[in-house]
Amino acid sequence: MNSDRPIGVFDSGIGGLTVVRSLTRRLPHENIVYYGDTARVPYGPKSPQVVREYAAEDTEVLLAHNVKMIVVACNTVSAVALDVVQKRARVPVVGVIIPGAEAAVQTSRKKRIGVVGTIGTVRSRAYENAIRQVDSSVQVFSKACPLFVPLVEEGWINHKATELIAHEYLFPLTLEKIDTLVLGCTHYPLLQNVIGSVLKGAATLVDSGEATAGAVERELDAHGLRNPSTLKPNLKFFVSDIPHSFSEVGERFLGQKLGVVKKV
Ligand code: DGL
């Protein structure tokens, strides 16, 4: 179990780079191998059966890189297929749902929590179940926001159209008087400004990726897997397709230059 082995992170596409960004900030010396299934993205609208098949294959891609831990950055996979990854992995697995749910319960005072995510994530009720597992007296209000993913990929981060759509999606949640909103999708942290302004400060936003970075740190320590090196880490990026404007969009998610991206 040498702890300088990389942490493996996978997602349905490039959105999971927001989770890598949170990881590199919290754990600046960890080596990371990222795999984005860009050829088959989006997973959000697909059936749980298909997402489970893809999740098994994504796990194998990372295991081939001798990773010491697997982080399932994709909310949709974490919601419907975490057990598939756990069964195959032979290394610790961290998904984004439980850390996001725990952070939301800690944040909420009124015990009225909103959750936004893909259709697959919301249909699975995974956040709702995880939140109630922590505190059964919390009320959860969920809303699928499928248009957010293409809007973010288009770069329409502070766009009028995005504001209108966000208002349409989030208005029902404001009526429920939520005080906390879980951003239950890899892409949504990039819409924090728009979402925050639609909610007019009435709810605190919880970034599930950010919460997951904390969970990864705890898990590394629990297994004695933290990389003792203080050198600049190795970040490697693999994808199943290199679509147009990949680097531009990827760098927006990662918050820094991507470097070499290899197709597998
Ligand atoms: N990565 C997905 C998630 O967090 C969003 C994109 C997709 O639908 O594949 O649920």
How does residue 248 score in pLDDT terms, banded at 50, 70 and 90?
Answer: confident
- For residues 199 and 126, state if they share a domain: yes
Asked if 115 and 199 sit in the same domain, the reply is yes
- State residue 247's pLDDT score: 81
Task: Output the domain CATH number for residue 224.
Answer: 3.40.50.1860
Average pLDDT over residues 92-105: 98
Interatomic CA distance for residues 184 and 127, integer angstroms: 8
Model confidence at 209: pLDDT above 70: yes
- The pLDDT score that the predictor gives to residue 1 is 60
CA of 117, closest atom in ligand 1: 10
Please give the pLDDT value at position 99: 98
> Which structure tokens are listed for 35?
């795999």
Predicted TM-score of the model (pTM): 0.96
Last residue of a domain, one of 208, 225, 249: 208
Query: How much distance in Å is there from the Cα of 149 to the middle of ligand 1?
Result: 7
Mean pLDDT of the region 236-259: 87
User: What pLDDT is attached to residue 17?
Assistant: 95
Q: What is the pLDDT of residue 32?
A: 97
Main-chain phi, psi angles of 9, to 5 degrees: -125, 130
- Kindly report the backbone phi and psi dihedral angles of residue 109, in degrees, each rounded to the nearest multiple of 5, phi listed first: -95, -40
Residues 157 and 56 grouped into a single domain: no
Whether the pLDDT of residue 249 is over 90: the answer is: no
Distance CA 80, CA 58 (A): 14
Which of 52, 72, 76 gets mutated to test ligand 1 (max ligand atoms within 8 A of its CB)?
76
* Domains held by the chain: number: 2
Domain membership of residue 139 as a residue range: 97-208
Same structural domain, 113 and 204: yes
Q: Please check whether residues 214 and 91 belong to one and the same domain.
A: yes
The predicted pLDDT at position 186 comes to: 97
Specify whether 200 is located in the same domain as 216: no
Active site residue 74: yes
Span 135-151, pLDDT tens digits: 999 999 999 999 999 99
Tell me how far the alpha carbon of residue 199 lies from the centroid of ligand 1, in angstroms: 23
Distance CA 209, CA 17 (A): 10
- Same domain? For 91 and 214 the reply is yes
Give the other-Cβ count within 10 Å of 88's Cβ.
17
Q: What is the position in ligand 1's atom list of the atom closest to the CA of 44?
A: 8
Q: Is residue 22 part of a domain?
A: yes
In a domain, 1, yes or no: no
The answer on 19 and 73 residing in a single domain is yes
* 41 CB within 6 A, ligand 1: yes
CA-to-CA separations, 154 to 37, 45, 235, in angstroms, rounded: 18, 18, 25
The alpha carbon of 12 and the centre of ligand 1 are apart by a number of angstroms equal to 6
- Please state the φ and ψ torsions of residue 174, each to the nearest 5 degrees: -65, -35
145 tagged catalytic: no
**Ligand 1 close to Cβ of residue 186 (< 6 A):** yes
